[in-house]
Amino acid sequence: MTDRPLRIGIIGSGFGALSVAIELTRAGHSDVRLWERADSLGGVWRDNTYPGAGCDVPSPLYSFSYAQSTRWHRRYGLQDQILEYLHDTAAAFGITPRIRFSHEVVAAAWDEETTSWTVTFGHGGTDTVDVLVPAIGQLSRPVLPAVPGIDTFEGPSFHSAEWDHSVDLTGTKVAVVGTGASAIQLVPPVAEQAAEVTLFQRSANWILPKLDGPFARWYKPMIRFERPLFWAAAEQFSRGLDDQSRVGRLNQKWAEHHLRRQVPDDALRAKLTPDYPIGCKRILFSNNYYPTLALPHVHVVTERISEVTPTGVVAADGSVHDADVIIYGTGFDAQDFLSSIDVTGRDGTKLATQWVDGAHAYLGIHAPRFPNLLISYGPNTNLGGGSIIYMLEAQARHMRQVVDRMAAGAYRRVEVTESAEAEYDRSVQDELEHSAWAHCDSWYRHRSGRITSNWPGSTHPYARRTRTLEPGAFTWA
Ligand code: NAP
């Protein structure tokens, strides 16, 4: 090991990347650089600009513990303010000047000789670091549905994460495909503008109300006191995602009540009632989605889409739905973790090959055969409730310990042992068998059937587990 500081490279500039960068620089690690594919920071909060975009986790909780803001306009922050918060926080902690924008990492290769990672950028250049931290999120690759004729549509069409703001929806006929967390936020504002909205719902979702509203000026200094309250509530909520949970049953009753109260029409309510127990797909939160669907110019179609034509959408029952614009709220390629980067570890092992049956990593952070690779928001670290920022901070603290130990002990490489990773994965998968997510398909599951996105249960056990470096779990050299 040389006297120079460890070179640390972080891929991305969203919440995950910033939390690692802040943690490491605050601990005194001076050679930290970030590579961002776009020309500005923010991850999903930069990309998702659809009308109504915001977070369904209260902002006092959906923010860094060490950077609490008293400026939130409302309890559930909207996209523009969350993005502003990220910009402000990156600037306040000195991270912004470390970001190299328009640097898309397309490959990363480990060199055992030099114990370093070399990353290759889309534009051809390379960079070399001692420790590599991919922090590219689980929801950065939008997916369009594999529907025949999708390319033949003659009007504008776009994905919720790639909103085309040049399209004026005023007075148009809009088809919306999908009813996930993104769609339920965008449908109400779209329906305010459009003459007609046809919503294609493949699955109904369980929806709970939001305790939303603007914060009065006098209340703002008090915002931070909400954090522990929402954290405790979210921990209970997450426990409710165990399939036998009493909290889960109460949540289902609450969701049924919300649906009954907001949708008096029996036929519409029947369409909107999920056919699976609450929690299996992500529980959604909204006060304005159901009332929008009850408007006379909004139609819910539950038939599958069989075809897109130049002028609209044809459903499986043969019904034809003309549209001027089609909006796809059809989600993301979340299962092929890190697949946008060709990652090669020791002995030429490809991460994509190692994870062909679904991604797995010790604490979601360490994969055997990939030394000095610390993954942020990796496999089994997503949540069905609560704040992902809490998980990202726990990961960042863990990574800081790894890097501290490398620096203090003059270690050149750290690698998780195969047995520690396998044992960890077994225990997580055992717990997941009892989760609500085991009962239906969702983006949490790999095509092999494994639940590879989510952490089972509440977040505190994960924070506890990541708090220290387990002796024997790693080889240090
Ligand atoms: P999503 O949850 O994956 O929802 C995709 C929707 O598209 C589903 O309703 C899906 O139906 C439907 N769909 C997919 N292919 C289809 C097809 N061929 N025909 C008809 N429908 C089709 O995606 P998302 O709504 O973008 O949300 C993804 C994740 O982003 C969320 O789970 C959440 O973690 C995050 N998010 C968070 C917030 C927030 O407020 N915090 C807001 C937005 C997004 P099926 O259910 O039948 O598959």
The residue nearest atom 41 of ligand 1, judged by CA position, is 55
Q: What is the pLDDT of residues 96-131, one digit of tens each?
A: 999 999 999 999 999 999 999 999 999 999 999 999
Q: What is the pLDDT of residues 129-154, one digit of tens each?
A: 999 999 999 999 999 999 999 999 99
Residue 151 is which amino acid?
D
CB 276 within 8 A of CB 442: no
DSSP string of 147-189? -TTGGG--S-EEEGGG--TT---TT-EEEEE--SHHHHHHHHH
* CATH no. of 157-206+242-328: 3.50.50.60
Q: Which residues of 154-186 are buried (b: 16+ CB within 10 A; e: fewer)?
A: ebbbbbbbebeeebebeebbbbbbbbbbbbbbb
If one counts every other C-beta atom within 10 angstroms of the C-beta of residue 4, the result is: 9
Q: How far is the CA of 331 from the centre of ligand 1 (A)?
A: 4
CATH-assigned architecture of domain 8-141+333-476: 3-Layer(bba) Sandwich (3.50)
Tell whether ligand 1 has an atom less than 6 A from the beta carbon of residue 262. no
Tell whether ligand 1 has an atom less than 6 A from the beta carbon of residue 285. no
Pairing of strands 157-159, 325-328: parallel
Tell whether ligand 1 has an atom less than 6 A from the beta carbon of residue 77. no
Same fold, 8-141+333-476 and 157-206+242-328: yes
Q: How far is the CA of 282 from the centre of ligand 1 (A)?
A: 9
CB 386 within 8 A of CB 463: no
Question: Three-state DSSP class for 242?
Answer: strand
The span from the CA of 4 to the CA of 195, in Å, is 63
Tell whether ligand 1 has an atom less than 6 A from the beta carbon of residue 62. no
Which ligand 1 atom lies nearest to the CA of residue 203? 47
308 backbone dihedrals φ, ψ, rounded to 5°: -105, 135
Task: Give 66's contacts (C-beta < 8 A, 6+ positions apart).
Answer: 22
- Angle formed by the axes of helices 246-262 and 226-239, to 10°? 100
Tell whether ligand 1 has an atom less than 6 A from the beta carbon of residue 203. yes
The span from the CA of 388 to the CA of 279, in Å, is 17
What is the helix (H) or strand (E) element at residue 119, kind and residue range? strand 116-121
Q: How far is the CA of 181 from the centre of ligand 1 (A)?
A: 6
Tell whether ligand 1 has an atom less than 6 A from the beta carbon of residue 387. no
Q: How far is the CA of 205 from the centre of ligand 1 (A)?
A: 10
Tell whether ligand 1 has an atom less than 6 A from the beta carbon of residue 15. no
Which ligand 1 atom lies nearest to the CA of residue 181? 25
- Angle formed by the axes of helices 15-26 and 79-92, to 10°? 20
Q: What is the pLDDT of residues 160-197, one digit of tens each?
A: 999 999 999 999 999 999 999 999 999 999 999 999 99
Q: How far is the CA of 378 from the centre of ligand 1 (A)?
A: 19
Tell whether ligand 1 has an atom less than 6 A from the beta carbon of residue 329. yes
475 backbone dihedrals φ, ψ, rounded to 5°: -105, 130
CB 161 within 8 A of CB 332: yes
Give residue 100's pLDDT.
98
Q: How far is the CA of 402 from the centre of ligand 1 (A)?
A: 35
CA atoms within 13 A on the CB side of 79: 16
Q: How far is the CA of 285 from the centre of ligand 1 (A)?
A: 13
* Straight-line distance from the first to the last Cα atom of the chain, in angstroms, rounded to the nearest whole number: 10
Residue to substitute in 139, 184, 335, 444 for testing ligand 1 pocket (most ligand atoms within 8 angstroms of CB): 139
HEC letters along 18-32: HHHHHHHHHCCCCCE
Tell whether ligand 1 has an atom less than 6 A from the beta carbon of residue 291. no
Give residue 393's pLDDT.
98
Pairing of strands 105-111, 342-344: parallel
| Burial of 34 per CB tally in 10 Å (0-12, 13-18, 19+) | buried
If one counts every other C-beta atom within 10 angstroms of the C-beta of residue 277, the result is: 15
Give residue 2's pLDDT.
52
The residue nearest atom 14 of ligand 1, judged by CA position, is 330
108 backbone dihedrals φ, ψ, rounded to 5°: -145, 130
All structural domains of the chain with their residue ranges: 8-141+333-476, 157-206+242-328
The span from the CA of 8 to the CA of 374, in Å, is 10
CB 94 within 8 A of CB 102: no
Q: How far is the CA of 62 from the centre of ligand 1 (A)?
A: 20
The residue nearest atom 3 of ligand 1, judged by CA position, is 331
Closest CA to 42 of 80, 20, 79, 14: 14
Which ligand 1 atom lies nearest to the CA of residue 441? 48
The residue nearest atom 37 of ligand 1, judged by CA position, is 181
Give residue 3's pLDDT.
66
The residue nearest atom 4 of ligand 1, judged by CA position, is 180
HEC letters along 247-267: HHHHHHHHHHHHHHHHCCCHH
The span from the CA of 99 to the CA of 31, in Å, is 12
Give residue 248's pLDDT.
86
Q: How far is the CA of 209 from the centre of ligand 1 (A)?
A: 18
Distance (Å) of CA 170 to CA 43, 153, 174, 301, 461:
29, 19, 10, 22, 49
Residues in the chain predicted with pLDDT less than 50, given as ranges, are 1
Tell whether ligand 1 has an atom less than 6 A from the beta carbon of residue 179. yes
Partner residues linked to 315 by β-bridges = 305
Q: How far is the CA of 382 from the centre of ligand 1 (A)?
A: 15
Tell whether ligand 1 has an atom less than 6 A from the beta carbon of residue 284. no
Give residue 1's pLDDT.
47
Q: Return the structure tokens found at 376.
A: 């942020």
Q: How far is the CA of 257 from the centre of ligand 1 (A)?
A: 23
